[in-house]
C-alpha cells in the first residue's frame, strides 16, 4: 500500500523534503513508518521522544493501522514546546531510553513500544515512598553521570530486547527533586508472552540499579543522606580486587 508522508518544521530540514510517498506492506502501522524513516534519517530517531504522528489530520499512536492512501504527518514540538527528556536514545528496533527532570509519562512509553504482535506488556514503576529505615522522608534528589547513564541503559535494554521472546524495551529515569509518590524510574517490556515480559522487566530494573551511574540523596526532617547501594560484581572498582 502507498502512504503519503509529510514533514514540518525542523523535521523537514532533517529529511531534506517536505513530503514523500512510500510503499508499505499490508498490516503496517504508524510506528513502522516512523521507524523506517528514522533509520534513513538518524536525526529523526534522535528526536523520537518529541515527535507526534498524525494520520489523516488526527493524532495517532504508534500502533495505529495504516491503509492505502493514508496521509501521515511527522510533527515536531509546537512553538513553545520542548521534549520532556534531557537525554534520550532510540534504536532501529523500537527500544527507547531516556533521562528526564519532568514527571515520567508512562502511557507515552507504552504507546511507543507496544505493537500488534505483543500479547503482554509489563510496566515497572519505582516510586518515592514516605519513609526509609524508620525516618520520615520529605523528598529525594537524583543525580547521574548523564552520558554514561544513557549509554549503559541502552546497552542493558538492548541485550534484554535481543532475547527471543522479548519485543521491545523502554527505560526512563527521573533526575532532580522528586516528591512522595512520584515515579523515579519506569521500565516497560513487551513480549508475545507474559512470563518473558515479567522476567525481562525484573532483570531490567535489577541491572539498572546495579550498573547505571545514578545516585539519590534522601532528605528527612532532621537531615539528609546519600543512599549507598552496591555496584554489580563485574564493575571494576577503583581499589582493585
Tens of pLDDT along 5-25? 999 888 887 888 889 999 999
Report the C-alpha gap between 22 and 5 in whole angstroms: 8
Q: In the structure grid, which three cell numbers stand for residue 57, read together?
A: 489530520
Instruction: Give the residue-averaged pLDDT of 59-82.
Output: 82
In a domain, 128, yes or no: yes
In a domain, 198, yes or no: yes
In a domain, 22, yes or no: yes
Cα 167 vs. chain centroid, distance in angstroms?
A: 14
Same domain, yes or no: 212 and 98: yes
Same domain, yes or no: 125 and 35: no
pLDDT band at 82 (very low <50, low <70, confident <90, very high): low
pLDDT for 239 equals 43
Query: Mean of the per-residue pLDDT values for the chain?
Result: 89
pLDDT band at 43 (very low <50, low <70, confident <90, very high): confident
Report the range of poorest mean pLDDT among 148-162, 182-196, 201-215, 217-231: 217-231
In a domain, 24, yes or no: yes
Residue 158 lies in domain: 85-226
Closest by CA position to 74, among listed 33, 130, 114, 23:
33
Same domain, yes or no: 26 and 92: no
* Percentage of the residues of the chain whose pLDDT score is greater than 70: 92
**Does pLDDT of 228 surpass 80?**
no
pLDDT, one tens digit per residue, over 119-161 is 999 999 999 999 998 899 999 999 998 889 999 999 999 999 9
DSSP secondary structure letters along 15-82: HTSSEEEEE--TT-BHHHHHHHHHHH-HHHHHTGGG-EEEETTEEE-TT-B--TT-EEEEEPPPTT--
**Does pLDDT of 98 surpass 90?**
yes
| Strand 58-60 versus strand 214-220 pairing type | unpaired
Which of 43, 75, 107 delimits the end of a domain? 75
Report the C-alpha gap between 210 and 156 in whole angstroms: 11
Which whole-number Å values give the CA distances from 134 to 88, 131, 137, 197, 222, in the listed order? 36, 6, 9, 34, 12
pTM of the model: 0.67
Same domain, yes or no: 149 and 220: yes
Which of 20, 50, 75 delimits the end of a domain? 75
In a domain, 235, yes or no: no
Total domain count, the chain: 2
Amino acid at each position: 500500500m502507498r502512504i503519503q508522508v509529510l514533514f514540518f518544521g525542523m523535521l523537514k530540514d532533517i529529511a531534506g523534503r517536505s513530503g514523500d510517498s512510500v510503499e508499505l506492506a499490508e498490516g503496517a502501522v504508524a510506528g513502522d513508518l516512523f521507524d523506517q524513516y528514522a533509520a534513513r534519517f538518524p536525526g529523526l530517531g534522535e528526536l523520537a521522544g518529541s515527535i507526534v504522528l498524525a494520520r489523516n489530520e488526527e493524532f495517532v499512536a504508534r500502533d495505529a493501522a495504516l491503509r492505502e492512501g493514508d496521509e501521515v504527518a511527522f510533527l515536531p514540538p509546537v512553538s513553545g514546546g520542548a521534549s520532556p527528556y534531557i537525554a534520550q536514545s532510540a534504536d532501529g528496533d523500537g527500544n527507547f531510553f531516556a533521562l528526564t527532570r519532568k514527571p515520567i509519562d508512562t502511557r507515552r512509553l507504552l504507546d511507543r513500544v507496544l505493537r500488534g504482535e505483543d500479547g503482554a506488556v509489563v510496566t515497572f514503576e519505582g516510586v518515592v515512598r514516605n519513609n526509609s529505615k524508620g525516618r520520615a522522608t520529605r523528598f529525594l534528589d537524583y543525580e547521574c553521570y548523564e552520558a554514561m547513564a544513557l549509554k549503559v541503559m541502552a546497552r542493558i535494554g538492548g541485550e534484554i530486547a535481543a532475547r527471543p521472546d522479548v519485543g521491545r524495551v523502554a527505560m526512563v529515569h527521573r533526575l532532580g527533586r522528586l516528591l512522595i509518590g512520584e515515579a523515579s524510574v519506569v521500565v516497560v517490556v513487551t513480549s508475545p508472552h507474559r512470563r518473558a515480559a515479567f522476567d525481562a522487566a525484573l532483570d531490567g530494573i535489577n541491572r539498572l540499579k546495579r550498573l547505571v551511574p545514578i545516585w539519590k540523596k534522601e532528605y528527612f526532617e532532621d537531615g539528609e543522606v546519600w543512599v549507598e547501594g552496591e555496584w554489580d560484581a563485574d564493575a571494576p572498582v577503583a581499589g582493585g580486587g
